[in-house]
Amino acid sequence: MLGAILALLVAGLAVAVGLAQTYGDVVDTYWRVHDEVLLPTEAGRRYIDLFWRHNGELCQLVVANERLTLEGQAVILQFEPPLRALVDGQGEGVTITSGMVERVEAYLDLLVDVGSPELQATIRAERERTPLDGLIGMTFEEARVHLVGQPETAVPTQYSTALP
């Protein structure tokens, strides 16, 4: 499921940033995933690169499509508690369910329906690379290790991404 969440970071971080004033804790959790889960691993940095490659288009799609916006917000809010548990060191206590995978798959389907050929190809390739149904039953910690591995090193950044 973490792989799906990482894919959603690509699609949903723009929505989360737009909600920053209302949902500061939510945005902070997703930035912690960025800083603490993704950034310290090569595989995680690959997901960050995917985000930046498609960020402009995703922002445009979210602004132009109310259904995409609302569903993206719902997914982001649904996954914030288990992701917060993960970054708080309690990811072993949260299990990925078939309902979680179905929700992410439905959102990715929406993105494929409205996205550019390049975005569609990226989503299809990521789905092939990491079939989400294979994550059902894993804990969020198991999924993190499976998808991005253990942190290689702490990557110092000049600027904190945590909200004040």
pLDDT band for position 8 (cuts 50, 70, 90): low
Sign of CA dihedral 31, 17, 10, 79: positive
Cβ pair 90, 65 in contact under 8 A: no
pLDDT of residue 164: 42
Q: Is 84 exposed, middle or buried (0-12, 13-18, 19+ CB in 10 A)?
A: buried
Q: How far is CA 64 from the centre of its chain?
A: 21
pLDDT of residue 157: 57
Instruction: Determine the average pLDDT of the residues in 128-142.
Output: 95
Q: In this structure, what DSSP letter does residue 139 have? A: B
Cβ pair 44, 37 in contact under 8 A: yes
Select the more confidently predicted residue: 11 or 95.
95
Enumerate the domain spans of the chain.
2-147
Q: Say which residue the tokens 């993206």 belong to.
A: 72
pLDDT of residue 62: 87
3-state helix, strand, coil in the chain (%, to 5): 75, 0, 25
Instruction: Supply the angle between the helices 98-114 and 66-87 in degrees, to the nearest 10.
Output: 140
Would you put residue 149 in left (φ > 0), alpha (ψ -120 to 50) or beta? left
